[in-house]
Amino acid sequence: MKKEITCIICPNGCELSVDLEGKNIKSVSGALCKRGEEYVTQEIQDPKRTIASLIKVNNGEVPLVSVRTTKAIAKEKIFDIIEEVKKLEINAPIKIGQVIVENILGLGSDIIATSSVDKKQI
pTM > 0.85 = no
CB atoms within 10 A of CB 35: 14
Distance from C-alpha of 20 to C-alpha of 27, rounded to nearest angstrom:
7
Domain spans of the chain? 2-46, 52-113
Q: Is 3 exposed, middle or buried (0-12, 13-18, 19+ CB in 10 A)?
A: middle
CB atoms within 10 A of CB 91: 11
What string of pLDDT tens digits covers the 122 residues of the chain? Answer: 999 999 998 899 999 999 999 888 999 999 998 898 899 999 998 999 999 999 999 999 999 999 999 999 999 999 999 999 999 999 999 999 999 999 999 999 999 999 999 999 87
Superfamily of domain 52-113: CPE0013-like (3.10.530.10)
Q: Choose among 59, 55, 53: nearest CA to 92.
A: 59
Q: How many Å separate Cα 38 from the centre of its chain?
A: 18
